[in-house]
Amino acid sequence: MTDDVCLPLERDEVQRIADHLDLSFKERNELLQAAEFQPEKEEQPTLTLPTLPISLASWHSSPFVVGPPITEPRQFFGREYILKRVFDVWKYMPLQHIAIVGLKRSGKTSLLHYLRRIIDTPAEQLRFGQPNNWLIPGYQWVFVDFQDPRMCYQESLLRHILIEIDLPVPEPTDLVSFMEILDQYLEFPTLILLDEINAGLASPDLDEQFWWGMRSLGSNHAGGMIGFLFTAHQAPEEILFDDNKPSPFFNIFGHVLNLDPLTEPEALELITSSPQPFQKKDIEWIMKQSGRWPALLQILCHSRLVAQEEGRHDNTWQAEALQRMKPYRYLLEQKL
């Protein structure tokens, strides 16, 4: 007789016994520890992501974009003069500030998306000959859409800017701590694009003190490495007079550029980008009816392409296209 206890030689023997006895997780570990083995680790639940019915990699860019702004550089056409003016200003330090003025649907938001993306978009993702060497690499970009209600609250706006340029976010994020973070940590030239600034001016939370702070930021802080660009329907001096909240912020915008229709070669490049070529008479009709405004060109080209794909050879597409562009006919008056 002996008092020695005979322990299993292998850990998996104990696990098989636990399986046979249908022990709970806790009971299994108690048995393992009694046999002088390490307990099991509790398995974390595996997250199963929903599977899409189709692969995103199989999607193709739409030939023409009707409605939303252009976000893919490959789909953006024209504005060569504006692009050259903007990027020429931003080649040098200190960074200067630019206002883009244009009617509704004139392409302001599309332009901002293009500005912030074209520099870092590789050539293979662009059209043949589409330049992307406007600036040297290293610039940081922040896009602020004041039509997003979150951007009309000071704390969420300032947090958004800091997060976009990967800087520390203080708690709470107020104007003073925001400016201190930029002074202390900002190392790269940073361009802040403010879309539809009139909506920001209408926000009670973005008060006069806030805009004073933005003016100071663009004038005396961060070593001149912050440049602002805003879009609006009016020139800066007109906003100063029309708004009930006078803003010294606009005094620093020395470059004001107006968005006009595309040039004829630019409009023709957009039209001829169609995957199915249009007849010469259709191209001439589209050029005339659109006034070479990008939004109207997109509508008319889309209507012509759909009609061709459906095998329709009459002129009903023209009536449909004119009806679709009816809400934007004010563009043809060209009055800013």
Residue of 334, 263, 289 whose CA lies nearest to 78: 263
My answer on whether 310 and 195 are in the same domain is no
**Which tokens belong to 160?**
């958004």
My answer on whether 283 and 154 are in the same domain is no
* Number of neighbours of residue 120 by Cβ within 10 angstroms: 12
Tens digits of per-residue pLDDT, 182-194? 999 999 999 999 9
* pLDDT score for 39: 77
Which residue has better confidence, 34 or 56? 34
My answer on whether 75 and 221 are in the same domain is yes
- Amino acid identity of residue 120, one-letter, is D
**What total number of domains does the chain contain?**
2
Inter-residue contact 191 to 90 (CB < 8 Å)? yes
My answer on whether 216 and 240 are in the same domain is yes
Residues in contact with 239: Cβ distance below 8 Å, sequence separation at least 6, in sequence order:
197, 198, 201, 232, 247, 250
- Residue at a domain's end among 215, 234, 258: 258
My answer on whether 251 and 311 are in the same domain is no
Tens digits of per-residue pLDDT, 84-110? 999 999 999 999 999 999 999 999 999
My answer on whether 222 and 286 are in the same domain is no
Report yes or no on 52 lying in a domain: no
My answer on whether 195 and 88 are in the same domain is yes
The percentage of the chain sitting over the pLDDT mark of 70, rounded to a whole number, equals 88
My answer on whether 98 and 234 are in the same domain is yes
Residue 220 domain boundaries: 66-258
Report yes or no on 23 lying in a domain: no
Inter-residue contact 237 to 256 (CB < 8 Å)? no
Q: Phi and psi at residue 259, in whole multiples of 5°?
A: -90, 115
My answer on whether 268 and 136 are in the same domain is no
SS3 157: helix
Helix, strand, coil fractions of the chain, as percent rounded to 5: 50, 10, 45
Report yes or no on 32 lying in a domain: no
Report yes or no on 210 lying in a domain: yes
Confidence of residue 56 (pLDDT cuts 50, 70, 90): very low
Q: Read off the CATH number of the domain in which 118 is found.
A: 3.40.50.300
- Residue at a domain's end among 231, 258, 285: 258
- Amino acid identity of residue 41, one-letter, is K
My answer on whether 171 and 206 are in the same domain is yes
- Most confident of the following: 44-53, 55-64, 224-233: 224-233
- Residue at a domain's end among 258, 283, 299: 258
My answer on whether 237 and 270 are in the same domain is no
CA 72 and chain centroid, separation: 10
- Half-sphere exposure (Cβ direction) of 180: Cα atoms closer than 13 Å: 9
**Which tokens belong to 184?**
């202390």
In angstroms, the CA 1 to CA 20 distance is: 29
| pLDDT beyond 80 at 142 | yes
Report yes or no on 276 lying in a domain: yes
Report yes or no on 166 lying in a domain: yes
Report yes or no on 198 lying in a domain: yes
Per-residue burial over 217-229, b if 16 or more Cβ lie within 10 Å, else e, is: bbeebbeebbbbb
| pLDDT beyond 70 at 47 | no
My answer on whether 106 and 155 are in the same domain is yes
How far is the first Cα of the chain from the last one, in angstroms, to the nearest whole number?
106
Instruction: Please give the sequence-ordered ranges of beta strands (E in DSSP) within 104-246, or none if there are none.
Output: 140-145, 190-195, 226-232
SS3 7: coil
For tokens 């006034």, what's the residue?
Answer: 291
Report yes or no on 183 lying in a domain: yes
